[in-house]
């Protein structure tokens, strides 16, 4: 099962991943046209900055997802096989509980649509758009590894 | 070859791209791929690097920051970025004009003997235009004229002399908007000033200042370049030539001139016939010296001497990849920094000639107008000596070459249409009024590997002439269409609509007229002014059933040309990707909408050549309706 990793020493904070994410989830898949869509697609990933380093942040698809537990509408579920938290937008009521409980702050509320923005690992593509977009190779798409601390 | 078909419609280009791939040589197309994805903030014009509080970026999705550290919003940032490009483009053209005018002044002072006044009639006309009494010795007039021309660059007040060429109504529009250019250099400086941190924050005002700067190029620097080049290098006349990489010859010493300023390459043309060099060539075992050009330097020597054109912008690397080029002599503008590396893969010697444009580690033979001929001779000699280093096994010259007719100018169009003794634009105006001709289009500009090379130019132009629109071309766009055989009189029968066909057959011209290099876009402005002066097609340039296009643009100069066309009243369509302004909805809407109420013309951006053609045709039809002209004949 592949997972997104980041080499934060390589991240220059250009936010290309943010733009690629928004365009990739738009209806037209084209930067110039995406901005003119009625429901503007927003990035599901944000580059945060702290203590001199840049951190691209998006859903970690935790094995023990707090957001799934917190979802009162049953819109969230965890697919063990794919290692992905699935989000059924039709059932979502926009209560923002998932936003509150996420330990990484990786889920963002989209105030306009009242539906949270969360990474779906670009599930229909071979690799997420943010990986292709990164000019320095700071976004890494690889098999999950256990990190020993 | 399929992957190469996506890159270019030109067979010679496809063949060389295959060779480049086989030999593991990177070209612009490969480098474009390596650059993917290109920065979205840059593409949208939302990255500001003006001051050291930045770089700042505006979030195009409206969530994050909507202003930079200084408080500049998307409109200000995108407009300032665009304005800086206009300034750079105008600088390039106008500085070229200055160098030409400077050569004229050296000639006047007797500091150069390699140039002379070749077009006496144009010289006298120009002197009269500057209010110089021409009843005196030629030497005196040259002195006064060159002084006056150079003064146009440093003038602080008043207006550029060439602005008077525009129809009265257009001049009044410029005056009412306060955008009449005063001095060529002043407008560039003032525009750059307004884009400094914390100066102009009104995007509409920034665009106004930008238009004034662009006008100082179109009706200033570029016009000086064109007219003075015609005077000291000779005005072009219709001339036959050949185009595409096939013009390089296997048994000859191939010297390629590339860039934009013809002052030195003109001497290279002369020097290539120097008996001493011809002898040397024979001794080196070559059949002769074969001079060919790339980009606008090519257009200049083509227009005046019929020197063959090896290719347009995206073929500069490919010319070297043929393995048959002894010397590529470059001057300024559009010379890819990659040439040095490509040349090092072969025996080719890259030679820079202009103190403004150098490469580390490349032979530099500085051009001085005082010793122009000697410098040209020295460069060609280097080429002859380099012939023996050519590796014959690595020579692959594509077979493709096409005939063309070039050398049309605003003066020549007069003579062709009306005859030498009753030169007039009347037949042209009447052709439009009667509806035999739908209208006119100027199709100009560069190449861009983001699009299929030459495809946009040729598809657009074919569709225009099919609909009886006479097409005027310059620059790499003209070379693209020439390669596809659109610049020969016979092309009228094959591609043009019936009305245009009748005109082309009656006067023996191609349906697509090659007017020269990109500074020669100024010829289009003057020709359009003559059309208005002739009468029957309105009182202003914006009344003429005409449109402009830059289908495969890439350079800053193209942006400036677009702005001086629009500020002169010509509806202009850009292909490739739009100007980097889409991050600001206000600015984008202004350029493609409201600007029409201000200057009588606007921009359009379109990524489909057929749609581009029909946008232009619709515009032409609307202008015909406004003039209450008869419907189009066929």
Distance to chain A for B176, nearest Cα, Å: 35
State yes or no: pLDDT of B290 exceeds 90. Answer: yes
Q: Using CA atoms, how far apart are residues B599 and B597, in angstroms rounded to an integer?
A: 6
- B185-210 per-position pLDDT tens digit: 999 999 999 999 999 999 999 999 99
Cross-chain Cβ contact B37/A16 below 8 Å: yes
Name which of B43, B57, B63 is nearest A31 (Cβ-Cβ).
B43
Residue A44 belongs to domain with CATH number: 3.30.70
- Top pLDDT among B229 and B410 is at B229
Residue A91 belongs to domain with CATH number: 3.30.70.20
CB B549 within 8 A of CB B616: yes
A147 and A113: one domain? Answer: no
Q: Which helix (H) or strand (E) holds B310?
A: strand B309-311
The nearest alpha carbon in chain B to A40 belongs to: B61
Residue ranges of alpha helices (H) inside B467-518 are 475-483, 491-495, 498-507
Packing angle of the helix pair B203-216, B184-194 (nearest 10 deg): 160
The nearest alpha carbon in chain B to A16 belongs to: B39
Global pTM reads 0.93
**Closest listed residue to residue B261, CA positions, set B364, B185, B330, B359:** B330
Residue B418's pLDDT is what?
66
CB B102 within 8 A of CB B367: no
The single residue listed with the structure tokens 């591609």 is B495
Show Cβ contacts of residue A25 under 8 Å, excluding neighbours closer than 6 positions. A41, A44
Sign of the dihedral through C-alpha B400, B401, B404, B406: positive
A41 and A2: one domain? Answer: yes
Q: Using CA atoms, how far apart are residues B191 and B80, in angstroms rounded to an integer?
A: 9
CB atoms within 10 A of CB A147: 6
CB B297 within 8 A of CB B259: yes
The single residue listed with the structure tokens 């995007």 is B203
A68 and A110: one domain? Answer: yes
Q: Which long-range contacts (CB under 8 A, 24 or more apart) does B29-32 make?
A: B29/B449, B31/B338, B32/B449, B32/B450
Q: Using CA atoms, how far apart are residues B163 and B219, in angstroms rounded to an integer?
A: 6
Interface size A-B, in CB pairs within 8 Å, comes to 36
Strands (E) across B96-152 are located at none
Residue B178's pLDDT is what?
97
β-bridge mates for residue B513, sequence order:
B472
- B450-496 per-position pLDDT tens digit: 999 999 999 999 999 999 999 999 999 999 999 999 999 999 999 99
Chain A, window 40-59: residues with a beta carbon less than 8 angstroms from a chain B beta carbon: 40-43
A112 and A133: one domain? Answer: no
**Closest listed residue to residue B312, CA positions, set B261, B358, B258:** B258
The nearest alpha carbon in chain A to B582 belongs to: A32
User: What one-character-per-residue DSSP string does B194-206 give?
Assistant: HTSTTS---HHHH
* Largest Cα span, chain A: 47
Write out chain B residues lying below 8 Å of A20, CB-based: 37, 40
A70 and A51: one domain? Answer: no
If one counts the domains in chain A, the total is: 2
The nearest alpha carbon in chain A to B63 belongs to: A42
Cross-chain Cβ contact B60/A43 below 8 Å: no
Distance to chain A for B606, nearest Cα, Å: 12
A66 and A98: one domain? Answer: yes
The nearest alpha carbon in chain A to B37 belongs to: A133
Question: Could you give the C-alpha distances from B288 to A68, A117, B257, B282, B402, in angstroms and in order?
Answer: 80, 70, 16, 7, 21
A86 and A138: one domain? Answer: no
A97 and A78: one domain? Answer: yes
Q: Using CA atoms, how far apart are residues B592 and B415, in angstroms rounded to an integer?
A: 37
Q: Using CA atoms, how far apart are residues B268 and B565, in angstroms rounded to an integer?
A: 33
**Closest listed residue to residue B171, CA positions, set B490, B529, B459:** B529
β-bridge mates for residue A124, sequence order:
none
The single residue listed with the structure tokens 């884009």 is B195
Residue B100's pLDDT is what?
96
Segment B528-553 shows an average pLDDT of: 96
Residue B421's pLDDT is what?
64
Q: B611, exposed or middle or buried, with CB in 10 Å at 0-12, 13-18, 19+?
A: middle
Cross-chain Cβ contact A133/B578 below 8 Å: no
Whether A138 has its CB under 8 Å from any CB of chain B: the answer is no
Residue ranges of alpha helices (H) inside B155-294 are 168-177, 184-194, 203-216, 222-233, 262-271, 275-283
Q: A135, exposed or middle or buried, with CB in 10 Å at 0-12, 13-18, 19+?
A: middle
Strands A108-110 and A115-117: antiparallel
Q: Using CA atoms, how far apart are residues B246 and B490, in angstroms rounded to an integer?
A: 21
Q: Using CA atoms, how far apart are residues B126 and A68, in angstroms rounded to an integer?
A: 81
CB B260 within 8 A of CB B332: yes
| Residue of A12, A16, A137 to mutate for B, most B C-beta atoms under 10 A | A16
Q: Using CA atoms, how far apart are residues B420 and A21, in angstroms rounded to an integer?
A: 64
A63 and A91: one domain? Answer: yes
- Cis check for the bond before B194: say yes or no (omega within 30 of 0): no
Q: B1, exposed or middle or buried, with CB in 10 Å at 0-12, 13-18, 19+?
A: exposed
Cross-chain Cβ contact B40/A31 below 8 Å: yes
Q: A113, exposed or middle or buried, with CB in 10 Å at 0-12, 13-18, 19+?
A: middle
A41 and A68: one domain? Answer: no
A88 and A133: one domain? Answer: no
Task: Encode chain A (149 residues) as per-residue pLDDT tens digits.
Answer: 899 999 998 888 899 999 999 999 999 999 999 999 988 999 999 999 888 889 999 999 999 999 999 999 999 999 998 889 999 999 999 999 999 999 999 999 998 889 999 999 998 899 999 999 998 889 999 998 887 77
Show Cβ contacts of residue B353 under 8 Å, excluding neighbours closer than 6 positions. B264, B329, B330, B331, B364, B365, B366, B367, B375, B379
β-bridge mates for residue A76, sequence order:
A87
Q: Quote the ipTM score.
A: 0.74
Distance to chain B for A23, nearest Cα, Å: 10
State yes or no: pLDDT of B346 exceeds 90. Answer: yes
CB B631 within 8 A of CB B622: no
Cross-chain Cβ contact B57/A15 below 8 Å: yes
A106 and A149: one domain? Answer: no
Residue A149's pLDDT is what?
72
Distance to chain A for B265, nearest Cα, Å: 41
Show Cβ contacts of residue B129 under 8 Å, excluding neighbours closer than 6 positions. B161, B162, B164
Residue A124's pLDDT is what?
86
Cross-chain Cβ contact A15/B578 below 8 Å: no
Domain hosting A89: range is: 59-118
Distance to chain A for B252, nearest Cα, Å: 45
Cross-chain Cβ contact A16/B39 below 8 Å: yes
Based on its alpha-carbon atoms, the radius of gyration of chain B, rounded to whole angstroms, reads 24
Cross-chain Cβ contact B61/A14 below 8 Å: no
- B214-264 per-position pLDDT tens digit: 999 999 999 999 999 999 999 999 999 999 999 999 999 999 999 999 999
Q: Which helix (H) or strand (E) holds B147?
A: helix B138-154
Q: Tokens at residue B214, please?
A: 């662009």
- B541-578 per-position pLDDT tens digit: 999 999 999 999 999 999 999 999 999 999 999 998 88
């Amino acid at each position: 099962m592949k997972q997104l990793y980041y080499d934060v020493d390589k991240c220059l904070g250009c936010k290309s991943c943010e733009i690629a994410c928004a365009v990739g989830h738009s209806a037209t898949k084209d930067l110039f046209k995406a901005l003119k869509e009625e429901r503007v697609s927003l990035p599901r990933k944000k580059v945060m900055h702290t203590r001199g380093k840049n951190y691209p942040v998006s859903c970690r698809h935790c094995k023990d997802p707090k957001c799934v537990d917190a979802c009162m509408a049953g819109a969230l579920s965890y697919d063990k096989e794919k290692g992905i938290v699935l989000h059924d937008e039709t059932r979502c009521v926009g209560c923002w509980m998932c936003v509150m409980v996420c330990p990484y702050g990786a889920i963002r509320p989209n105030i306009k649509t009242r539906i949270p923005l969360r990474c779906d690992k670009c599930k229909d593509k071979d690799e997420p758009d943010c990986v292709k977009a990164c000019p320095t190779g700071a976004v890494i798409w690889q098999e999950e590894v256990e990190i020993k601390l | 070859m399929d992957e190469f078909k996506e890159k270019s419609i030109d067979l010679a280009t496809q063949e060389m791209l295959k060779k480049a791939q086989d030999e593991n040589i990177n070209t612009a197309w490969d480098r474009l791929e390596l650059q993917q994805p290109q920065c979205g903030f840059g593409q949208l014009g939302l990255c500001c690097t003006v001051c050291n509080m930045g770089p700042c970026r505006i979030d195009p999705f409206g969530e994050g920051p909507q202003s930079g550290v200084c408080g500049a919003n998307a409109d200000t940032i995108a407009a300032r970025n665009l304005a800086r490009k206009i300034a750079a483009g105008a600088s390039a053209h106008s500085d070229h004009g200055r160098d030409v005018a400077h050569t004229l002044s050296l000639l006047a002072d007797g500091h150069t003997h390699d140039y002379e006044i070749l077009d006496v009639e144009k010289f006298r006309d120009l002197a009269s235009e500057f209010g110089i009494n021409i009843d005196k010795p030629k030497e005196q007039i040259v002195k006064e004229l060159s002084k006056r021309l150079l003064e146009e660059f440093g003038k602080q007040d008043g207006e550029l002399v060439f602005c008077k060429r525009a129809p009265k109504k257009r001049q009044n529009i410029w005056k009412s908007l306060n955008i009449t250019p005063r001095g060529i250099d002043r407008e560039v400086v003032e525009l750059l000033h307004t884009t400094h941190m914390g100066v102009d924050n009104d995007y509409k005002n920034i665009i106004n200042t930008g238009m004034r700067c662009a006008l100082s190029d179109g009706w200033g620097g570029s016009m000086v370049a064109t007219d003075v080049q015609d005077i000291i290098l000779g005005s072009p006349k219709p001339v036959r030539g050949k185009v595409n990489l096939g013009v390089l010859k296997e048994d000859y010493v191939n010297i390629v001139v590339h860039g934009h300023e013809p002052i030195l390459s003109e001497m290279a043309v002369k020097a290539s016939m120097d008996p001493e060099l011809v002898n040397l060539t024979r001794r080196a075992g070559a059949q002769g010296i074969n001079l060919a050009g790339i980009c606008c330097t090519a257009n200049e020597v083509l227009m005046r001497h019929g020197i063959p054109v090896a290719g347009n912008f995206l073929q500069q690397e490919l010319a070297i990849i043929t393995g048959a080029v002894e010397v590529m002599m470059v001057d300024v503008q559009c010379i890819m920094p990659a040439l040095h590396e490509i040349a090092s893969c072969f025996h080719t010697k890259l030679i820079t000639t202009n103190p403004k444009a150098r490469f580390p580690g490349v032979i530099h033979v500085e051009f001085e107008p005082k010793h122009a001929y000697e410098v040209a001779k020295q460069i060609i000699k280097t080429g002859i000596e380099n012939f023996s280093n050519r590796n014959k096994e690595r020579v692959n010259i594509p077979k493709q070459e096409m005939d063309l007719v070039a050398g049309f100018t605003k003066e020549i169009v007069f003579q062709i249409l009306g005859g030498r003794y009753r030169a007039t634009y009347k037949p042209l105006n009447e052709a439009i009024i009667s509806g035999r001709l739908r209208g006119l289009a100027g199709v100009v500009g560069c190449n861009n590997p983001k699009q299929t090379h030459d495809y946009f130019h040729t598809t657009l132009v074919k569709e225009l002439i099919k609909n009886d629109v006479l097409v005027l071309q310059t620059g790499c766009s003209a070379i693209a269409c020439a390669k596809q055989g659109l610049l020969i009189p016979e092309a009228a029968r094959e591609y043009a609509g019936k009305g245009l066909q009748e005109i082309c057959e009656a006067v023996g011209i191609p349906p697509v007229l090659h007017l020269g290099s990109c500074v020669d876009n100024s010829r289009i402005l003057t020709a359009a002014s003559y059309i208005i002066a002739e009468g029957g097609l309105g009182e202003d340039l914006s009344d003429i059933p005409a449109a402009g296009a830059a289908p495969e643009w890439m350079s800053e100069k193209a942006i400036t040309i677009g702005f001086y066309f629009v500020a002169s009243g010509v509806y202009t369509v850009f292909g490739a990707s739009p100007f980097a302004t889409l991050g600001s909805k206000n600015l984008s809407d202004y350029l493609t909408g409201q600007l029409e109420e201000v200057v009588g013309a606007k921009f359009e951006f379109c990524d489909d050549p057929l749609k581009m053609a029909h946008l232009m045709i619709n515009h032409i039809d609307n202008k015909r309706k406004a003039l209450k002209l008869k419907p189009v004949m066929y």
